[in-house]
Amino acid sequence: MWTIFRREMAHYFTSPVSYLIAAAFYVLMGLYFNNDLTISISVRAADPASVPMFLSFVMVFFAPLLTMRLIAEENKEGTVELLLTAPVSDGSIVIGKFLSAWAFYSLLLMGTFIYPVILMSLGIFPDLGIALSAYIGIWLYGGAALAVGVGFSAITDSQVMAAFLSMSFLLLMWLGDLAGNIVASFDLANLIRKLSLQGHYSTSFAVGLFRAEDVAYFAGMIVVALFITIRLLESRRWR
Amino acid sequence: MIEVSNLSKHYGTHLALDAVSFSAKQGEILGLLGPNGAGKTTTMRILTGYMPPSEGKAVVAGHDVSEESFEVRQNVGYLPERVPLYPDMTVEGYVTFWAKLRGVKKTKQAVLDALEKVDLIPRRKSLVRNLSKGLKQRLGLAQALVHDPKVLILDEPTIGIDPQQIIEIREQIRNLAQSHTVLFSTHILSEAEQICDRVVILQRGKLVAYGTPEALRKQLYPNDYLYVEIDAPQRDKQKVENMLNALTGVESVTHLAGGFTIRAKKDSDIRGKLVEKVLSAGYGLRELRPMAMTLEDIFLEIVGK
């Protein structure tokens, strides 16, 4: 598993695509932070969760970009045949790849720690409890989104298709938060919201509320997505 | 080292492999021949532990592929038909990756040894994407043997590379057989004839012939064939033909390009008598040679049926 992890990490750091993704990531985060800072001058206090909150939307698009290559490229290049005939379990292939994506994302996320530091240097002291909760939440949230991305990467040999499918899926999961606005039944709306990504982030982690059910939701999503991915990889053997 | 008995594989309703049985001893080079779609790749994929057979049993290096897939994979080096490469890695990095994945101890030494065997040491720092097709093929071979497997399974290792590189790869396969059992597929028959100790010929999933190229030749061609060109006037053509027909051991004589093809009884060497007869009749002898049946002929004979 760690051999796979190391190879994928090395790929993230040697591929120009990852640097482009990282650059786009920081441009967006920087713009958003800057905007929030501007607002904080006149309208309201700076929100310590503003960047992670924005990330919860941005990850709908960035998670697929970070994971689309992971298995789709192995399928395309035929290396998957060699991987599946190496004495390693299908689980360690999938988990190794997932962990590398999560680790790379964690590094990107760490870069955004600069924003609370900037706030403090300006004499604005955000609620660090909320900031911490928002960051832990978005880290788990990102893990779940990446696990979904890895799953879609396993079903195709086209990176574009993998990215498109996982973006669509994640967007749907993200929009579930809005279901309450259009569904007449309260219970149904509540259920849909409970299944959505935002429903477990915007009103809990992002406001400093650390709930076991939200942690379980994201952890569960990671486990289910990886389990399905491992089965998908295994299914190549059944064909 | 490889024992295959009654191996079958269904893809849905399509029967890709139909009760195939063969074996390969240690240090042997076994060729897998057949037209496209004959079941060569399917056989190899089963033997590498990539997918299980539908029926039958395959034992590789003492382990059953269905029950001990892990052990099989540890003992097999595999080069698929399309060489699977990571273009972004260096040659050395690529082989190191596979060595580590297969749990090789003393990775560095093993990698250098493998690269040495395929003459890639001078290019070990190059990026995989910058290698020529022949070098990529050799790199694929290095990957397959870095963990010093007992069995090497090579799917069409000489496809799509230039003649000089083909000769090199063949030479390397022959050298590898000293310490590994090699199963390799090809549809270039002369290649199988040059390298293989034994061949398996598959057609539409069935095993249609199995044995040494020599044995197959004998089995399918129970006669000796000679080609002879005689320096005689055109008007004597019929006379010459009758004369050849009269020789003991000759079964038939047919015209072929300015000379004759003689089908003779097996091992009845008629060449001495033929020369004597031709010369004593006052004719000259331009050419006399045995016509060896190549594996190509055998293949066409079997597959064409």
pLDDT digits (tens, 9 = 90+) for A112-123: 988 888 888 887
Give the DSSP letter string of B10-62: EETTEEEEEEEEEEE-TT-EEEEE-STTSSHHHHHHHHTTSS--SEEEEEETT
The better pLDDT of the pair B191, B154 is held by B154
The better pLDDT of the pair B296, B260 is held by B260
pLDDT grade for B304, boundaries at 50, 70 and 90: low
pLDDT tens across A37-67, in order? 888 877 777 777 888 889 999 999 999 999 9
**Closest to A170 in 3D by CA, of A203, A195, A188:** A195
Q: Which secondary structure element, helix H or strand E, spans residue B220, and what is its range?
A: helix B213-220
pLDDT tens across B1-16, in order? 888 988 899 888 888 8
Buried b (16+ CB within 10 A) or exposed e, A162-199: bbebbbebbeebbebbebeeeeeeeeebeebbeebbbb
- Distance from the Cα of B230 to chain A's closest Cα (Å) equals 57
pLDDT tens across B218-258, in order? 776 777 788 888 888 888 888 888 888 888 888 888 887 77
Q: Please compute the mean of the pLDDT values over residues A102-130 and round it to a whole number.
A: 87
pLDDT tens across A192-231, in order? 878 888 888 888 887 778 888 889 999 999 999 999 999 9
- Distance from the Cα of A23 to chain B's closest Cα (Å) equals 21
Chain A residue whose CA is closest to B81: A78
Which residue in A10, A81, A239 is closest to B84 by CB distance? A81
pLDDT tens across A6-31, in order? 999 999 998 899 999 999 999 999 99
- Distance from the Cα of B167 to chain A's closest Cα (Å) equals 25
- Residue B228, strand partner residues: B260, B288
Residue A150 has pLDDT above 90, yes or no: yes
| pLDDT value, residue B295 | 67
How many CA atoms lie less than 13 Å away from A136 in the CB half-sphere?
A: 16
pLDDT grade for B38, boundaries at 50, 70 and 90: confident
B70·A15 Cβ contact <8 A: no
Give chain B's contact residues with A (Cβ, < 8 Å).
11, 45, 48-52, 70-71, 73-74, 76, 78, 80, 82-89, 93, 97-98, 100-103, 143
| pLDDT value, residue A109 | 93
The better pLDDT of the pair A171, B189 is held by A171
CA–CA gap between residue B9 and residue B154 (Å, rounded): 20
Chain B positions in Cβ-Cβ contact with residue A11 (cut-off 8 Å): 88
Residue A149 has pLDDT above 90, yes or no: yes
The better pLDDT of the pair B300, B14 is held by B14
CB atoms within 10 A of CB A105: 24
pLDDT tens across A136-148, in order? 999 999 999 999 9
Which residue in B50, B87, B93 is closest to A85 by CB distance? B50
CA–CA gap between residue A185 and residue A189 (Å, rounded): 6
Place of tokens 């010093």: B148
Which residue in B83, B87, B101 is closest to A86 by CB distance? B101
Instruction: Tell me the angle at which helices A16-42 and A114-121 cross, rounded to the nearest 10 degrees.
Output: 30
How many CA atoms lie less than 13 Å away from A158 in the CB half-sphere?
A: 4
Spell out the residues 6+ positions from residue A30 whose beta carbon is closer than 8 angstroms to its own. Answer: none
Chain A residue whose CA is closest to B52: A237
- Residue B14, strand partner residues: B11
| pLDDT value, residue B293 | 67
| pLDDT value, residue A73 | 92
Distances (CA, A) of A188 to A23, A183, A185, A195: 40, 7, 5, 11
Q: Please compute the mean of the pLDDT values over residues A80-85 and round it to a whole number.
A: 90
A16 touches B at CB < 8 Å: no
CA–CA gap between residue B232 and residue B241 (Å, rounded): 11
Chain B residue whose CA is closest to A86: B73
Contact B190, B25 (CB under 8 A): no
Contact B181, B25 (CB under 8 A): yes
Which residue in A78, A87, A238 is closest to B102 by CB distance? A87
| pLDDT value, residue A239 | 62
CA–CA gap between residue A2 and residue B101 (Å, rounded): 9
pLDDT tens across B67-104, in order? 888 889 999 999 998 888 998 899 999 999 999 999 89
| pLDDT value, residue A154 | 93
Which residue in A11, A80, A83 is closest to B88 by CB distance? A11
